[in-house]
Structure 1
Amino acid sequence: MSERSHGRARIVFLVKVPVERRDDFLAAYEQIRFLVAEGVPGHLVDQVCRSATDPEQWLITSEWSDLESFLAWEATSEHRDLVKPLRDCITEARSLRFLIEAETAGRVPA
């Protein structure tokens, strides 16, 4: 199967942020998250997560209506400019792209 698909996609970034840059990293994330959520076509949701065992390990995930929307946005100069303050806090990064094949949602509490 081709990397390009018409189904939803999950983008995963595993990053290392030195403890002394934590506040800068979270402030940079806070500055961009609503701009992305409200203004980037195809963006559905994102999360930033801190490792429970390593204070320098972070996970950023985003879900997109399709992989093409993410790839189109990632290729723009607007994207590069917007995420620069976030990237300036990161010492290591790994990016992974997944196509969502199946999903299970739990019941919503009454």
Structure 2
Amino acid sequence: MTGTEGFRARIVFLLKVPLEYEYDFLDAYEQIRYEVARGVPGHLRDQVCRSATDPEQWMITSEWRDLDSFVAWEATEEHRELAAPLRRCFTEARSLRFEICAETSAQPAPEPATTTS
């Protein structure tokens, strides 16, 4: 682990998926995400997002209890087997790893007080 022990991790995959593979890509993502959510230690949540300006640009983010949990999962044969159908759909990929140091609350900000006369 790095010097930020105890921090959750965010993994970002930036992918280029040709339009003709979009549905295969989304089908493969659906298969993988349920398998991971059901039984991979340390996995918390994930999202798949498409660029608003380039329909071939995609991003998958996942949140993990810690970076070690992701690294351990990524090194398994199960990960390679599950990710294979997804990997067949993209032509470019970039992977980034971050430790979450701070975040905003999901709670809405309080409304300003109003005065009545």
Normalising by the smaller structure, the TM-score range is over 0.9
| Unmatched segments (≥5 aa) in structure 2 | 109-117
Report which of the two structures shows the higher radius of gyration computed on alpha carbons: 2
Q: Percent identity of the aligned residues?
A: 70
Matched ranges for 1:9-88 at <5 A:
9-88=9-88
1:8 aligns with 8
Answering whether residue 101 of structure 2 is matched by residue 107 of structure 1, we say: no
Which amino acid is the alignment partner of residue 38 of structure 2? E
Matches of 2:27 and 2:91, distance apart in 1: 17
Which amino acid is the alignment partner of residue 72 of structure 2? A
2:94 aligns with 94
Q: Is the 8 A contact 1:6 1:67 kept in 2?
A: no
Matches of 1:71 and 1:87, distance apart in 2: 18
Partner of 1:101: helix, strand, or coil?
coil
| Unmatched segments (≥5 aa) in structure 1 | none
Partner of 1:97: helix, strand, or coil?
strand
Give the length in aligned residue pairs: 108
TM (norm. structure 2) is 0.87
Distance 1:4 1:101, change over 3 A: closer
Give deviations 1:25-50, integer Å, cap 9, x for gaps. 00000111111011000000000000
Q: Offset at 1:7?
A: 1.4
Which amino acid is the alignment partner of residue 76 of structure 2? T
Matches of 2:21 and 2:30, distance apart in 1: 14
2:113 aligns with none
Partner of 1:7: helix, strand, or coil?
coil
Matches of 2:4 and 2:70, distance apart in 1: 11
Q: Offset at 1:106?
A: 3.4
Distance 1:57 1:90, change over 3 A: same
Q: Structure 1 segments of 4 or more deviating over 4 A?
A: none
Distance 1:3 1:85, change over 3 A: farther
Q: Is the 8 A contact 1:42 1:66 kept in 2?
A: yes
